[in-house]
Each structure stands twice: as C-alpha cells, then as structure tokens.
Amino acid sequence: MDAEIISVGTEIVLGQIVNTNAAYLANRLTQLDLPATYQTTVDDQSQRLERVINHALTRAQLVFVCGGLGPTADDVTMPTVAKALGKELWTDEEHWKWIQKTFEQRQIKMEPENIRQAQYPRGGEPLANPVGLALGCWYETKGKVVVVLPGPPAEFKAMVEKSLIPKLQQYFQTGKQITSRTLNFLGRPESQLMDEIEDATNDIPGISITSYVQPTAIQVRLTVRDLPVIEAEEKIDQAQKAILAVEEPFFFGVGDNLTLAKVVAEQLKNRGWKLTAAESLTGGMFQSTICSVPGASTVFNGGFVTYAASAKEKLLGIPHDTIDQYGVVSSETAAAMAEGCQRKLNVEVGIGFTGVAGPDMLEGQPAGTVWIGLAMKGRPTKTVQLHLASYVGRQAIRTLSVQYGLQLIYRELKK
C-alpha cells in the first residue's frame, strides 16, 4: 500500500509557514500501518495541482490532498480534485444550510463564495469538520482513495482524528493487529536517550522503537505488530521495564497527549496542594502553561511576574541586599523568589525563575544561564542551574526553562 500526501499552499512552497500538517498525518498513518511513501508540496495554482494529483494516482493507492478549502479565489483544491477525477462539484445542501445559519447566528455577512465550503466531487463522501466550516471529502475510484482535508492545523487535526481515522480503520481491514504505547521523557538529548534505549532492549525481539521530539518532551513509541493484544502488551511491558531501569529519572508518563504540566497538576491535586510562581525571564509562561491544564484552578490561585529587580523587592519582599550582593541571576535570588511567592500566597509550593533569555549577556552571564528555585512545604528550599544553548534562541530558552521547572516539581513530588 503506497500513500502520498499532497500539501497545497503557496505560503508552504515559499517557506513562509512550516508544514506541520504533513508531519502530523504521516505520523498518524504510520501508527495505522499505512505509512506514506511520497510527499509533494504544490502552490495554489490549479493546473499544477491537477498534474500533481494525476501523477500521485499513478503511483499511490491512497492520496491525501491537504489545504485550500476556503471560500477565497486561491482556495482551488476541491474544484481541482473534482476536475482530476472527471467529476462535477456537488453541493451538500444540508451542510450549506448549516453554514448559512452559522453566519446568521454570528451576525456576519456571508459571501456567495462560502458555498464552496459545502461542496465536494459528486460521488464522494463528506468528511465532517468538527471545528470549522469546510467539508473534507473521501472519494473512491478504481481501487484507489482520494482524501481531501482542510489546511488550518486545528481543523486539520480535528478532521483527521474524528472523521478520517475511523474511516481508514473501517476501509483498510488488513487483519494486522498493531499495539503501541508512548513513553514521555525530558532532560536527555534524543541521540543519547535512544542509544541507551536500544542497548536496554536489544534482547527483546519483535518490538519497534521510534522517537519524536516535541517542543516540550521526547516521545518514544513502542510498537508490536501481528500479535494478540495480551501478548503484545506483555512484550511492551517488558520493554518499558527495561527502558525505565535506565531512564526512569527522565521519564514522566505514558500517553500520546500527555504533558508534564498535566502530570504535575494531577500530583498537586492528589495531595490537596496549591502552587504559585514568581517569574522573571519566563515572563508568565510557567503560569500560562499550568493554566492550560483543565481544572488548573484547583491547584493554582495566581502568581507573579517580577521582571525588574524593583518588582522582585516590592512584590515578593526580597531584600535589596540579596540582589545587590548576589545579582538577579543567582541561586540566592531564585530561592528568594520561590520563598517569597510561596509566602505571599500561603501555598505549599512556590517556584521562581530567573536567568538570561538572551540574546545579550546579563551581569556577565551568557544567554541560556537560568536559575530555578523551589520552595516546598516541609522541605528545604532547592535551587538548580541550567546551562541552555544560547543558539536555540530566546523563546526556546524560556520554553525549556518552564519544562525543567515542571520536571523539578515532578521529581520532588514523587519523593
């Protein structure tokens, strides 16, 4: 089974946006044992897109055309797919009425071109869009399948998960059983992590191990094919045990959509504890990350963004002498920030972030120098220093600081 992903968009071809949709779909297809063998990117030009679709149908049995389903002039995908298939566009009247009603409810003027979002090639099947207006399409032709998907990532992922994946599972009855599990790690370079995992699992045959670097973690997927679920789970259990015997300090949980913030929030909730933060270089990013977890209000009341030294003194009560003697970027200041926010809000856990996000140095310290302080009920205040690579850039330094802060809390709460 050969599959091809066609990504449509001039902005993708020109490098103005990153094509995350193709990577997401390719990964999901691999999990279904339907790996993509080709990927093509083409601009918003109908004739070129038609040639690409026709060529894809000569070499692939499953063709995905992604993007270009809006109502504007450069949204050429659906009519071009219809032309390539030799079919006319058909309007789904029920969906068109729903679009009209949606515009009316939102009190937005609707243009006649919006009808394009309710159209697909005659003879195809609509794919519902759970979070957008434009329908997708599933079209079977001469033993092959053409799938049309939207471009906006939120709509794309929702349609893939809710509409496409169930259809693929129903259509491609290969008889193969695929069992997988995703382990999440933080704090190791991917190459070092995977080398050690390979050594730990060398004597476990029949298991595939792949890694995927996320912005906030490294995901390691363990996959077993063609075994009954119980046997496959036993083999995966064996591999996980061998891996965690070596990598347990860097492991924080199982699951495709697991985040360290979610794990930490659950730890705090189980203890009945609350958390606060005082942030300098991260500028509120840690608190935003915690608040992204559903139910965060049970473990988080509020916190502080104390960017300037004067704010640290006024809002957190840090003595001027501490900052004057040790500097803003120091173990002592990080500890004082953690203790100050914990004391001010009277909670069990306080964390402080101070450092140099870059690109310039601060107090003689290079970009990537970060101190994190952690004040926790019943335990002495702890500080850790990070030496993050300055070349990753300001935003990445801030993001990594937040993740290492979460990891510090996670490890302390496990004790």
At residue 176, the pLDDT reads 59
Token pair for residue 247? 């990598």
Tens-place pLDDT, residues 283-332: 999 999 999 999 999 999 999 999 999 999 999 999 999 999 999 999 99
* pTM of structure: 0.71
| Complete domains list, the chain, with CATH | 3-171 (3.40.980.10), 178-254 (3.30.70.2860), 260-414 (3.90.950.20)
Q: Cβ–Cβ contacts within 10 Å for residue 192, how many?
A: 10
Print pLDDT tens along the chain (415 aa).
Answer: 899 999 999 999 999 999 999 999 998 998 788 889 999 999 999 999 999 999 999 999 999 999 999 999 889 999 999 999 999 999 999 999 999 999 999 999 999 999 999 999 999 999 999 999 999 999 999 999 999 999 999 999 999 999 999 999 888 864 457 788 999 999 889 999 999 999 999 999 999 999 988 878 999 999 998 888 899 999 999 999 999 999 999 999 999 889 999 999 999 999 999 999 999 999 999 999 999 999 999 999 999 999 999 999 999 999 999 999 999 999 999 999 999 999 999 999 999 999 999 999 999 999 999 999 999 999 999 999 999 999 999 999 999 999 999 999 999 999 9
Q: What is the 3-state secondary structure (H, E, C) of the chain?
A: CCEEEEEECHHHHCCCCCCHHHHHHHHHHHHCCCCEEEEEEECCCHHHHHHHHHHHHHHCCEEEEECCCCCCCCCCHHHHHHHHHCCCEEECHHHHHHHHHHHHHHCCCCCHHHHHHHEEECCCEEECCCCCCCCEEEEEECCEEEEEECCCHHHHHHHHHHHHHHHHHHHCCCCCCEEEEEEEECCCCHHHHHHHHHHHCCCCCCCEEEEEEECCEEEEEEEEECCCHHHHHHHHHHHHHHHHHHHHHHEEEECCCCCHHHHHHHHHHHHCCCEEEEECCCCCHHHHHHHCCCCHHHCECCCEECCCHHHHHHHHCCCHHHHHHHCCCCHHHHHHHHHHHHHHHCCCEEEEEEECCCCCCECCECCCEEEEEEEECCCCCEEEEEECCHHHCHHHHHHHHHHHHHHHHHHHHHC
Task: Give the position of tokens 């049995």.
Answer: 61
